[in-house]
Every structure is written in structure tokens, then in C-alpha cells.
Amino acid sequence: MSATLDVPVIQAPHEVDRPGSRQQKEVTRLLPTWLLGVVIAALCAFVLLPLLYIFLASVNSDLSVARGDFWPEAFTFENYSKIWTSVGLANGLANSVVVAGSTAVVSAALAVATAYVLVRYEFRGRLTMLRGLLALQSIPGTLLLLPVFVLYSSAATYLKIQIIGTHWGLFLTYLTFALPFSTWVMVTYLRGLPKELEEAARIDGASNLGILTRIILPLSWPGIIVSGIFAFLLGWNDVLFASIMTRPESQTAAVALQIFATSTEGGAVPYYGQMMASALVCAAPVVILYLFFQKYLVGGLTAGGVK
């Protein structure tokens, strides 16, 4: 007599949609595939078509651009060779790199140290300083143009310190506006770093300066680069303060372009080709900077968004 055992058949459970799986992507997609492609193509055309026109105008003659011709009759790169003498772009680019670059480096360095103190230490006035950083972002820079100019002029009159017309005077001006934003970016980033790493370093005998230089700085490169790039853009794109606070030998590239465009408006045929070529040359360093630090920008801008 043999006994039979009924073994229950265990059915395989249904596959659970994991985060990022194909099933979940199809469920959470807001737009159909074809409509998403149309939207992306429209956005790319919105950005790239003006750039294409600027490039075609830079390799075209001034008369053809003035007539409204989109496609050049003959491609020429003479405009790119003329801008170094007619616009004075070499001196302007050098001044912009010095002022904007120093502003980015110093602003990022000070922002890391300031944000570390505001995030990791409790002291009286800490919340007031954090709120003050946000309040400073709401003040338009045009309102501070006259006070800053009067302050620097008074320094030259009473203290015999010449600030207006110098590189470091423009550097101090940009640092004043860049430091609050850079500090707030670093505050948001440092809040996401685990405190356990610092506690372990303290147990091993590391000082506050050692923790900042050996632990915080290596982990904070995305936030540092984001704050530095925004400070660099502040100094690179500014025209208002640079036109008031500089002399011909210390003018930035933005001021050189403005002066060249203003001086050629009254002519029979404005130098449109040289203007477009100058604009592309001035935009190239910023584009290269974004492409080089793209991976750090994504991490730095999204830091603190998910806890």
C-alpha cells in the first residue's frame, strides 16, 4: 500500500514593478512618446535657431545682414579677426576672466567655511543670519549702485584708497552680491551630508580645520562648483556695475561689447557681423565651463531636495 503526498503547487508571484522599471515608466509618463518628442524638438529649435542665426550672421558681410539675409552669400571669417582690434575684445576678456574668476574662487571658498559654521554649530543669531541671506537676495542690484559708488568714492577722498577703476574694486562689488547666494547653496548642500563622518573624525583626533579640509571639502565639490559658477556668471554678464566702476584699461568684455554697439549705431551700415562674432566669442567660455562641470552641476543643484 503506497501513500501519495499532495504537494501544493506554489505559484510564482506577479513581478512587482521596481522603481525605474519599464512598467512604472509607462504609468508615470505624463506625455505620450510622440508628443514628448514634439515638445523636445520645439524647445531645441527655440534655443538653437537664434544661435544658428548669430553664427550665420558672424560669417556674413555687414551689408547682407543689414538687408535681412539669413544665409550668407559667401562664408567669411574676417569678422573674427577684426574684433580683436575694433572691439578691443582681448583686453576685455582678460579683465573678465581675472575679475569673474577671482570672484568665483573666493566666493566659493568663503561660502564653504561660512555654511559649515551655520549648519554644524548652534549659536545666538544663527537663524537671523540664515534669514538675512535670503533677504539679501530680494534686494535689486540697481538700488545699490549709487550707495556703492558713493562709498568707494568716499574711500578715495578720505582714506586715499583708489577703488573705482581698479580690478579689485570690481571684485569686491561682485563678491558682495555673490557671497550670500553661494553661502545659501552650500548651506543646503551641507545639510545633506551625514554627521557620522565628522564624529568619526573627531574620535580619531581631527580638528575643526582638519574636518573641513579633509572631509567636508572632498564631499562638497558639486555644491562648491555650483556656487562658483553662479558667482562667475555674475561677474561675467554684468554691465551695470562694470560700466560705472571701471576705466578703459579695466573694462570687462560686456562693457566693451556695449561700447562697440553704441558707437556703431549711428553709422550707415552697423557692424552686425563683428557684433555677432564678439557675442559668440564671449559666450564660448561660459558654454565650455558648463559642459566641463555638467555632472557636478546636476548633483549640486539637486542636493537637499530629497531627505
pLDDT tens-digit series, residues 54-79: 999 889 887 888 787 888 888 888 88
Mean pLDDT calculated for residue range 240-259: 88
The HSE-up count of residue 303 (CA atoms within 13 Å, CB side) is 27
Instruction: Give me the percent of the chain exceeding a pLDDT of 90.
Output: 20
Question: Which string of b and e fits 107-146 if b means at least 16 CB within 10 Å?
Answer: bbebbbebbbebbbeeeeeeeeebeebeeeeeeeeeeeee
Q: Give residue 248's pLDDT.
A: 84
Confidence of residue 27 (pLDDT cuts 50, 70, 90): very low
Confidence of residue 269 (pLDDT cuts 50, 70, 90): low
Name the more confident of 218 and 98: 98
Domains of the chain are 31-76 (no CATH), 85-301 (1.10.3720.10)
Is it the case that residue 26 has pLDDT exceeding 80? no
Mean pLDDT for all residues in the chain: 82
- Report which listed range, 30-39, 145-154, 189-198, is most confident: 145-154
Report the candidate in 297, 277, 166, 181 with the shortest Cα–Cα distance to residue 234.
Answer: 181
For 107, the enclosing helix (H) or strand (E) is helix 89-120
